[in-house]
Every structure is written in structure tokens, then in C-alpha cells.
Structure 1
Amino acid sequence: MARTPLHILRVAAVVFAAVLLAPAAQAQTTESRMSGLALSGDEPIQIESDLLKINEETSQATFTGNVKVVQGDTVLQAGEMIVNYTNDGGSVSSGTADIREIELYKKVLIRSGTQTATADAGNFNMADEILVLTGEKVVLTDAENVFIGCKLTVQMKNGQAKLDSCGRRVMIQLDPKSRPKQ
């Protein structure tokens, strides 16, 4: 399957899903359809940070400082990652609680192959399967193709993606050499 310019976001969702499986009207927007999302937990995930705090009372695990999540060729980096768990009787520290939401802060980077997404913050709602990247400049690159906005929303269930400009303009730079050969 050929990678779409927003394929990186699907890959990020796979990373987030694998963590789960493991113990504005005037704003200009650009919409795109993302084909088939396959959530997979078949590759190991490595998470590193300077500090990990687990709070059973609030059902949170907070990774702080140089957070790096690696699964296969996908890398997620952030200054802080907060994993919010459901209050269904499971334990955060034992890995028996289900993940409700993952919050990313302090310069988010997601990279897979030739594709990269950067933002100031991110949020993945596990129940609704919605990934949102926000910031002064949300930048997606795929080789020489560049997409810039301030908010990217991806509905993982149906593959719908929307890039908002937040009152400015969405910017896209496409390299004609990147088009697939017919």
C-alpha cells in the first residue's frame, strides 16, 4: 500500500493503540481521506523518559523529560506524555487498567520513514479513536511535500483527516516528483 502524506498519523495511532494493548466555521481547512487503519500490537514498544510518575488516585502515568516512544520504524518524541486510564477497577502500576486518553506536550514529533509530523501538543482519545495535533504551526512532511496548519484532527475509525488554519491559511507545498508513477 502506498503511503499517503498523512500516513504518519495512522502510524502514530498504531503506537498509541499498541500502548493500550500492552500490560472553527471561518477557519480555512483542508480535508483528506485516510485509507484503512490497521491497529496492530505485534511489534514491541519501548518507552523512555527522564521520569515516570504513576498516580493510582488520579489514574495517570506521567512520563516527563525527553519522552521517546519507539515501535518498529516509528518514533514519537515529546517533552511530556500523560497517559490517563479509566477508573474501572484496574491498576495503573500493574498494567491492568485501560487507557482512556494520551496527552502530549512540549514539542511533539512523530516520525516514520520519510514522513514527519511536528506540533506543540497532541491528544489521542482512545474511546473515540480521534488524534488531534495542535500548535502555532502543525507541520506534516512526506519527503518534499509539506502541509502546514495549526490543528490536525484525524478520525481513525473512518480515516477522515482535517487540517485547520485557525483564522490564517493552510499552506501546502507539493513536489511533482513525489507523485506515484502511472
Structure 2
Amino acid sequence: MKILPGMAAVLAALVLIAAPAAAQDRATGLKLDSDKPIQIESNKLEVREAENVAIFTGNVAVQQDKTVLKAGRMRVYYKKDGGSATTGSADIDRLEVDGTVYVRSETQEVTADKGVYDMGREMLVLSGDKVVLTEGANVIVGCKLTVNTRSGLAQLEPCSSTGGRVKMLLTPGESRAGRGN
């Protein structure tokens, strides 16, 4: 099973909210459609201009086309002197999500306890007691998934609770069937 950079897509897609020009460059590598709208819902939004952060809390749901992110909380940190979050001109530094993180793309799902997307390094890290990536009947389990969204290189680290091993279940033919090939 190939780990798609698209699993990071929703996190990276949030760039479109505050930095459209930068987002178009990143979106191309992540196969996002910058023309598609992004919908964000949460129970509360707090913008702390002095701290350069916007905080979405309570049943956070982000959707762009067929990619969905759900979490308990999402913090969007933007660069100092990089614009304003309230006007949509902020230059995003990093995104953090926590509280049962769930990401679904067209063919894959991943769950974790927390996640961080570093815009400058183009690195996504999902971690927790258990990180589970599924594509159809194929399943990979570990505790820390690191994806370089620029190169597509992914690494899954094991959990100490599983004896220090990553677990993988592959069902022959399932990956192709899941992608419609």
C-alpha cells in the first residue's frame, strides 16, 4: 500500500484560507484543487492576533472536495508580520490538530491522537497511542507517521506497546480495487 501525500492534503489545504499564493505552489505537489472551496466548521473560533494564532475548538470539521479532516481542536499558527488571520492574508507557519484526529481522502483513512504540519519544512507528523492508516482492507499500524509532502517519503515508527514493531495487513488486489484501477 502506497501512502499518499493526499493524506496530508486537508492540513495543507488550510493554507488556502490564509495564504492563497503560497497555497497554489503547495497544492500542486499535494494534488489539491485550489479552485475548490474549503469548508471549516467548529463549535468555536478564537483569533489571537497578538499571539499569531487562530484556534478552532469543538467538533472541528474541514472539507475540501472529497478530503475530510476531523479533530477536537485545530490551531493555525501564522508568521509574525505575515498578515492578519482575520483578513485572510496571514502567512501560515504551522498547523496543529489534536483530540482524535481523523483524515479521509478518496481512497485512504488515517486516525491519530494529534498532528502537526510544518509549512516551511513541508512535513506532516501524525502521532499517538496508535496511528492507523487504511486503504480498503489494507491496514498499517504504528505510533508516529511522518510524511514529507514535497518528496512523498513516508516513515511509520512502531509503538512500544506492540513490541517495537510496525504492523501491516495487506490484502492482495485490494489496493488496486480501492483506487478503481
TM-score, normalisation: structure 1: 0.84
Question: Is residue 2:166 matched to residue 1:173?
Answer: no
8 Å contact from structure 2 (residues 9, 67) kept in 1: no
Q: Aligned pair count? A: 165
Partner SS, residue 64 of structure 1: strand
**What does 1:140-151 align with in structure 2 at a 5 Å threshold?**
140-151=133-144
CA RMSD of aligned residues (A): 1.9
Structure 1 residue 22, shift from structure 2 partner: 2.7
* Structure 1 residue aligned with 2:121: 128
* Structure 2 residue aligned with 1:83: 76
* Structure 2 residue aligned with 1:44: 37
1:64 corresponds to which of 57, 61, 73:
57
Question: Is residue 2:150 matched to residue 1:157?
Answer: yes
* Structure 2: runs of 5 or more not aligned: 19-28
> Which string of whole-angstrom CA distances, capped at 9 and with x for unpartnered residues, describes residues 60-92 of structure 1?
000000000000011100000000000025112
8 Å contact from structure 1 (residues 13, 131) kept in 2: yes
- Structure 1 vs Structure 2: percent identity of aligned residues? 47
* Structure 2 residue aligned with 1:112: 105
8 Å contact from structure 1 (residues 108, 118) kept in 2: yes
8 Å contact from structure 1 (residues 5, 115) kept in 2: no
8 Å contact from structure 2 (residues 136, 175) kept in 1: no
TM-score, normalisation: structure 2: 0.84
8 Å contact from structure 1 (residues 61, 84) kept in 2: yes
8 Å contact from structure 1 (residues 45, 71) kept in 2: yes
**Mean CA deviation greater in 46-55 or 107-116:** 107-116
8 Å contact from structure 2 (residues 125, 147) kept in 1: yes
Higher RCO (C-alpha under 8 Å, 6+ residues apart): 1
Structure 1 residue 39, shift from structure 2 partner: 4.6
Alpha-carbon distance change, 91 to 116 in structure 1, aligned in 2, over 3 angstroms: same
8 Å contact from structure 2 (residues 82, 91) kept in 1: no
Partner SS, residue 151 of structure 2: coil
Q: Distance in 1 between matches of 2:30 and 2:146?
A: 15
Q: Distance in 1 between matches of 2:145 and 2:137?
A: 19
**Mean CA deviation greater in 171-180 or 122-131:** 171-180
* Structure 1: runs of 5 or more not aligned: 24-35
> Which string of whole-angstrom CA distances, capped at 9 and with x for unpartnered residues, describes residues 3-23 of structure 1?
x5422xx22433233321334
